[in-house]
Structure 1
């Protein structure tokens, strides 16, 4: 990215936005103000995290030295379990020990199964509210997208996940999408969605004001008539055609 400048009386100055931040122009032409204090704070935080991670790694590496020479952890674990069974054989044979263990595990699983199910239900509700609600309330979708929010969620919902109770977006490479306006910070919902749609092959077919044809996208290989649901669409062209059709109904 390049610093946006302005020349006054033969001298070149950095152009600033309303917040007094110097403006930088990204490769795609998007202009973003650079918040220097925030960037410095982010770098300091990341340096602290890097130090913590290094110390954690060194501690783990030191602990693993106790297991040097063990090339097959699974076999070593099995051998330990076998020895434990031999010790228990003073009371019952090894087969009975395994039976008792299995029954104990089953009892615990049955006891906590309802709790696990309830937890999973809450996690699903949280996911639906944070991610589904993000699409439903998205200002970017309302102002820039020509198809319904649920259609956009069907296409890009897989790129959003929950981490520590917050929505995080990942790109096609599986890496987190970071903010260009707030360097070092994860992009918020709308900024991440804008980035995802910006890199979408058929973005002109779902953005308002596009020139993709008034009658809906007619991709090659669609054939066979209009699809009744997004699940029936097998190709990107069919998905776009369905989204365009649904958006005009």
Structure 2
């Protein structure tokens, strides 16, 4: 990948960003400031979510072993009032064991539930938010962000507090604008769209009629889609449009 130069040997800029030419002839403008700001923002968001998770875990430790305070007090009172022989005679040992087991299971279920909820919130903010804020999706794609996420969201994940994109073979996508670094969200999304068999139907100005397009035959046999109705309706429409699931 080479820096694009003009006839005078000066670097070519696009919106104030240096333009590089990839081996296949495609051009990409490298936004140094935007990339740095995005990384800083995502790191701050990841730190915030991590701190919330740690706070939740510390809170749970204060109730470790106690799922039902009333049941716990009942068990303690039972132990205080009966010696070992009476417990055996009364058949209460198994009851105490059962109550203790229930307490630990309840604690485990609560911890797992909190962890799952925090993970879902983290994904919704970092992945869902990135799709909603994507300049590439808004400027270049003729379908709304929720449909973009419905198709390409599975390619994105969170690793060590950062959004990471992978191709269909599970390989991480690396930046063409900044070799050696992982591709930023918009750059990765553009790569995935370029690899998508039905990309001509979702790129603006290539046959797709946008988020308000109505169904029916287009000029030259070009298919169009109806992106109205519920999200499920719109996902079904784009699947029918591109014949790709």
Where 1:171 maps in the other structure, the secondary structure is coil
4+ long deviations beyond 6 Å: 19-22, 101-106
Give how far 1:216 is off: 5.5
Q: Could you state the TM-score of these two structures normalised by the residue count of structure 2?
A: 0.54
2:123 paired with 1:127: yes
Q: Structure 1: any 5+ residue segments left out of the alignment? A: 36-100, 243-249
What is the CA–CA distance in structure 2 between the aligned matches of 1:192 and 1:156, rounded to whole Å? 10
Instruction: Give runs of aligned pairs for residues 186-197 of structure 1, distance below 5 A.
Output: 186-197=182-193
2:23 paired with 1:26: yes
* C-alpha spacing 1:5/1:139, structure 2 compared with 1 (3 Å): closer
What is the CA–CA distance in structure 2 between the aligned matches of 1:176 and 1:124, rounded to whole Å? 22
Give how far 1:7 is off: 6.1
Size of the alignment, in residue pairs?
A: 166
1:18-45: CA deviation from partner (whole Å, max 9, x where unpaired): 5897844331422456x9xxxxxxxxxx
* C-alpha spacing 1:203/1:107, structure 2 compared with 1 (3 Å): same
Q: What RMSD in Å do the two structures reach over aligned CA positions?
A: 4.2
What is the CA–CA distance in structure 1 between the aligned matches of 2:153 and 2:233, rounded to whole Å? 14
For 2:195, which of 177, 182, 199 is the aligned residue?
Answer: 199
1:100-157: CA deviation from partner (whole Å, max 9, x where unpaired): x999877544322202211110110110111111111111111111111101110001
Contact persistence 1:4–1:25 (CA under 8 A): no
Q: Structure 2: any 5+ residue segments left out of the alignment? A: 33-96
2:156 paired with 1:168: no
Give how far 1:230 is off: 5.3
For 2:135, which of 136, 139, 159 is the aligned residue?
Answer: 139
What is the CA–CA distance in structure 1 between the aligned matches of 2:143 and 2:2, rounded to whole Å? 34
1:59-100: CA deviation from partner (whole Å, max 9, x where unpaired): xxxxxxxxxxxxxxxxxxxxxxxxxxxxxxxxxxxxxxxxxx
What is the CA–CA distance in structure 1 between the aligned matches of 2:239 and 2:17, rounded to whole Å? 45
Question: Which stretch of structure 1 is more off in the superposition, 208-217 or 144-153?
Answer: 208-217
What is the CA–CA distance in structure 2 between the aligned matches of 1:205 and 1:154, rounded to whole Å? 16
Contact persistence 2:126–2:163 (CA under 8 A): yes
Contact persistence 1:16–1:23 (CA under 8 A): no
Q: Could you state the TM-score of these two structures normalised by the residue count of structure 1?
A: 0.53
Number of the residue aligned with 1:16 = 11
Where 1:167 maps in the other structure, the secondary structure is strand
Instruction: Give runs of aligned pairs for residues 103-118 of structure 1, distance below 5 A.
Output: 108-118=104-114
